[in-house]
Amino acid sequence: MSYQNIDNLQGAFQHGVNLGSSPGAVSTSPTQSFMNTLPRRLSVSKQQKVLKPFSTGDIKILLLENVNKTAIATFKDQGYQVDFHKGALPEEELIEKIKDVHAIGIRSKTKLTANVLKHAKNLEVIGCFCIGTNQVDLEYAASRGIAVFNSPFSNSRSVAELVIAEIISLARQLGDRSIELHTGTWNKVSAKCWEVRGKTLGIIGYGHIGSQLSVLAESMGLHVIYYDIVTIMALGTAKQVPTLNELLNKADFVSLHVPETPETKNMISAPQFASMKDGAYIINASRGTVVDIASLVAAMKAKKIAGAALDVYPNEPAKNGAGSFSNELNSWTNDLVSLTNVILTPHIGGSTEEAQSSIGIEVSDALSKYINEGNTVGAVNFPEVSLKALDYDQENTVRVLYIHKNVPGVLKVVNNILSNHNIEKQYSDSRGEIAYLMADISSVNQSDIKEIYEDLNKTDAKISIRLLY
């Protein structure tokens, strides 16, 4: 079967794919491309997880930040063209590369702002191969008809396990003892080194990661309290507390597991450190904006806080390498590294073989399903719509994917356009200002396809149109 995104047909701006050209070929003008395009029938193997309804070799995917090889394998299996990079790209290079790709895969570092996305003329979908989606302007992407997917919990366990390791490491000053011995100093001490059994762990944000951590911590004999903006069922014998202040007053260890939002920016700053118990510890593996580092440095210098573990920073280097975490990046780096009992890790909370491999599979599957079938289940900025895979063996059947503004009267207009054909299935949903209609229509001749497209393209509410057949 063949696929066409003919959004550019009449020069109207849309992210379009000139699928009539061979892979890697220079695109012809949109009109030419449409005219020259002959529908191609590809056989659909039953073993394929995702059907291949079109010439997938024309789809270009940009993968950044060392996205796992499981994703590369899935995309190559689909026949897509994959441009893989180990690190994040500087903004100018990103803008250049994003111009003609249909999909992009990133992790937590790459910022897909409106300024970057406005250059992405062909982009249909973004895959965040991680949990956080704060690095993407989700609303702007939706307004441009670009769907965004993530992996909501494939690395949660890895983060929770790292935090467990850090709780014991801080309580026993393991980082310092190890650094001392690496540099030749034997320093056998027990002063201010503690067991964690019987101590209280305060978890801020009791979602996927916070609740995993809760279960693991209780099994080591810690008492768990948590604070969240929503009421959440306690696991084990953990207890939700009504205010952040109460948690800070009671906890020996405070661990943060909230997303980056305007409300969580500098959530832990000087007044919150003042509310903590003397000699308490703080762990941040959420986002670098959540803890004000200057206040942390001050609280540690004043001996109010006995130790800290940080995995995330307000500014993080684009790639691995000596000297990349320097004072040039963050003014407080020198202060932080000179403190004792501070564990600094390079945003590795989700970096395990298990997590990265599952994330690679999960997100690449979601992207392939969206590209090949229009399925948006799991999207974080789009209405979730799906129809079972189109039967591409059936003659004269077309799947219409119509992303539009959520305003009254649109379905009436669209169904009027489709009404000369048999609407086999239809599913529509909205989310905020965006709505998405999927419809499978039969009794469609080749010549009808162009007409359907042109009529849909004239509708006022249209954001983006794809026709799969």
Ligand X SMILES: NC(=O)C1=CN([C@@H]2O[C@H](COP(=O)(O)OP(=O)(O)OC[C@H]3O[C@@H](n4cnc5c(N)ncnc54)[C@H](O)[C@@H]3O)[C@@H](O)[C@H]2O)C=CC1
Ligand Y SMILES: O=C(O)C(=O)COP(=O)(O)O
How far is the C-alpha of 39 from the C-alpha of 54, rounded, in Å? Answer: 8
Residue 206 contact among ligand Y, ligand X, none, beta carbon within 5 to 8 Å by kind: ligand X
Question: Closest separation between CB of residue 134 and ligand Y, Å?
Answer: 8
Q: Which two tokens stand for residue 75?
A: 């995309």
**Of 161, 180, 246, 316, catalytic:** 316
Buried b vs exposed e over 48-70: b needs ≥16 C-beta within 10 Å? eebbbbbbbebbbbbbbbbbbeb
Residue 378 contact among ligand Y, ligand X, none, beta carbon within 5 to 8 Å by kind: none
Question: Closest separation between CB of residue 66 and ligand X, Å?
Answer: 14
Residue 107 contact among ligand Y, ligand X, none, beta carbon within 5 to 8 Å by kind: ligand Y
CB nearer ligand Y, residue 48 or residue 351: 351
Cα-Cα-Cα-Cα dihedral of 218, 220, 222, 227, to 10°? Answer: -40
Cα-Cα-Cα-Cα dihedral of 339, 343, 346, 349, to 10°? Answer: -150
Site residues, ligand X (CB under 6 A): 131-132, 155-156, 159, 204-210, 227-230, 257-261, 263-264, 285-287, 311-312, 347, 349-350
Question: Closest separation between CB of residue 307 and ligand X, Å?
Answer: 18
CB nearer ligand Y, residue 113 or residue 351: 351
Give catalytic status of residue 347 as yes or no: yes
Alpha helices by DSSP H, listed for 28-109, are 30-36, 69-78, 91-98
Number of residues that bind ligand Y (CB under 6 A): 10
Residue 377: DSSP 8-state? T
- Only segment of 38-46, 126-134, 375-383, 429-437 that touches ligand Y (CB under 6 A): 126-134
Residue 263 contact among ligand X, ligand Y, none, beta carbon within 5 to 8 Å by kind: ligand X
Backbone CA torsion sign across 280, 281, 282, 283:
negative
How far is the C-alpha of 74 from the C-alpha of 61, rounded, in Å? Answer: 12
Binding flag, residue 127, ligand Y (CB under 6 A): no
Q: Between residue 138 and residue 177, which ones bind ligand Y under the rule CB under 6 A?
A: 155
Of 223, 347, 369, 466, which one interacts with ligand Y (CB under 6 A)? Answer: 347
CB nearer ligand Y, residue 79 or residue 132: 132
Of 5, 8, 78, 108, which one interacts with ligand Y (CB under 6 A)? Answer: 108
Of 245, 345, 351, 430, which one interacts with ligand Y (CB under 6 A)? Answer: 351
Give catalytic status of residue 421 as yes or no: no
Q: Whole-angstrom distance between the N-terminal and C-terminal Cα of the chain?
A: 6
Residue 14 contact among ligand Y, ligand X, none, beta carbon within 5 to 8 Å by kind: none
Of 117, 130, 282, 400, which one interacts with ligand Y (CB under 6 A)? Answer: 130
Q: Which two tokens stand for residue 151?
A: 């992996």
Helices (H) and strands (E) in the chain, counts: 15, 17
Question: Closest separation between CB of residue 163 and ligand X, Å?
Answer: 9
Residue 83: DSSP 8-state? E
Catalogue the E-assigned strands of 118-173. 125-128, 147-149
Burial class (CB in 10 A: 0-12, 13-18, 19+), 103: buried
Give catalytic status of residue 124 as yes or no: no
Binding flag, residue 350, ligand Y (CB under 6 A): yes
Question: Closest separation between CB of residue 219 and ligand Y, Å?
Answer: 24
How far is the C-alpha of 29 from the C-alpha of 6, rounded, in Å? Answer: 11
Q: Which residues are catalytic?
A: 287, 316, 347
Binding footprint of ligand Y on the chain (CB under 6 A): 107-109, 130-132, 155, 347, 350-351
